[in-house]
Amino acid sequence: MFPTDPISNLAALIRCPSVTPAEGGALTALAAMLEPLGFKIDRVVAKEAGTPDIDNLYARIGGDGPHLMFAGHTDVVPVGDEAAWSHPPFSAEIADGEMYGRGAVDMKGGIACFVAAVARHVEKHGPPQGSISFLITGDEEGPAINGTVKLLEWAAAKGEHWDACLVGEPTNPDQLGDMIKIGRRGSLSGRITVNGVQGHAAYPHLADNPVRGILQLTQALMDPPFDGGTENFQPSNLEVTTIDVGNAAVNVIPARASAAFNIRFNDSWTAESLKAEIVARLDRAAAEGALRPGRAPVQYDIAWSERPSHVFLTRNNALIDSLSAAVEAVTGRQPQLSTTGGTSDARFIKDYCPVVEFGLVGKTMHMVDERVALADLETLTGIYETFIARWFGHAAA
C-alpha cells in the first residue's frame, strides 16, 4: 500500500523520539514508507572524533534523466518542559484539526508531505521521468558535522548527480503560499577576549578592568551598519550574543572579559572580506580606547568559528518557476521569493546543484505545543505533487 496520506505519514514520524543525535526510529519509519514505492534505500552512519555518530538516509527511485532531490532532516530539538505540552510531544495526537508533536512543522511534516506527493505521482503516472531521491539527515538541529555534508560527499563519491533540490524546511511565515526561499544570507561567528589585571574594586589604580575594553570593542562592531542591503538581501546585521567575565564577586575587578557575536551578511561580502572589516573595526576601537584613562590601548584576541556559512542565491528558472507555479495553482497565491531567515542545510547543497526551500508554516517550530493544521498537510502535498509534475516537464523539455 502506497503512503499517499500525509497525516498518517507524519504521525508515524512524530512517534519516533528522534531528538538530535538519536535516530529514534524515524529513518526506519521513513524507509518503510519509501520501499513500497521502489526506492533503493541506503543508511549511512557518519562519524567524526569528538562528535556523536549520526544515522542518515539516502533513497532513490528512477533511472536516466533529470534528477530531483528532496532534502531534509528527521532530527528534532528537545521538547523542553514536557508537562507544559497540551498533548504528549511524541504522541501525534489530533485536536481541533491540528496534529501536535515535536517536529510537526520542523520538519517531519515536510517529509511526510513529500513522501505522499511522490506516492501519488507514482500511483497515477508510474516512476518519474528521471530520478527522485531523498537525502535525509539526523544532524540538522545539532552541530551539522555528520549529517548533510558527509551524506552529500558519500553520495557524490558513488556517482550521484542532482539537477535540482527542494528542501522542505518551514518557510511560510503566516500561511501556505507566502514564501519560497531562493537563497540565504551568510553567517559568521567569533569571540573576542580582552585581558585585564584582576584587583580589588576599591583600589582600581592597581587593576585594569577589561569590561571597559570589551564594551568599547562591541560597540565598534555594532555601529555603524555594515551596509544598506542589496537587491536580493537585507542589510547585513551583527549581534553581540553574550558578554562574559566569569566573576561571581561584586568587589573584584575581573581578569578578563569576552564577547561572542554573530553576523548575518549579504552578498556585499565574503566571509574573508567580512573578517577583514571586523578586525579593522576592532583595531581602530582598541587603539582609541584604554582600560583606564592614561593606560595603554586595549589589547584583544579574536577566535573565529571554524566553519562560516557563505551567502548564496539560486537563479535556476526551471526550479523556481516550477515551484512558484505549483504554489499558485494550489493556493491561488504568488509566493514571495525571499532570502530572509537563518541558515539551513541548503548552504551545503548549493555546492552540488540549484536549491530552493519550501515547506509548512513555521509559527510553532521549536515551541511547546508545536503543531500543524491537517488541512495544511493536504495542501502542501498537493503543492509538492504539482511541483514534481511541472519540474520534470520543464527539465525533460
Which residues are documented as binding site? 73, 106, 141, 169, 366
Q: Which residues are annotated as a binding site for Zn(2+)?
A: 73, 106, 141, 169, 366
What does DSSP say about strands 355-357 and 94-95: parallel, antiparallel, or unpaired?
A: unpaired
How far is it, in rounded angstroms, from Cα 276 to Cα 111? 40
Q: Is 75 assigned a catalytic role?
A: yes
Task: Collect all residues with Cβ–Cβ distance below 8 Å to 262 and sequence separation of at least 6.
Answer: 187, 188, 189, 238, 239, 241
Q: Residue 224: is the preceding peptide bond cis (ω within 30°)?
A: yes
Pairing of strands 164-167, 67-73: parallel
Single out the catalytic residue among 75, 163, 267, 345: 75
Query: Which residue, 337, 314, 341, is CA-closest to 186?
Result: 341
Of the candidates 98, 140, 208, 370, the residue annotated as catalytic is 140
Contact (CB, 8 A) for 264 and 187: yes
How far apart are alpha carbons 240 and 282 in whole angstroms?
Answer: 14
Q: Are 57 and 136 in contact (CB under 8 A)?
A: yes
> Whose grid coordinates read 567524526?
48
Residues designated catalytic: 75, 140
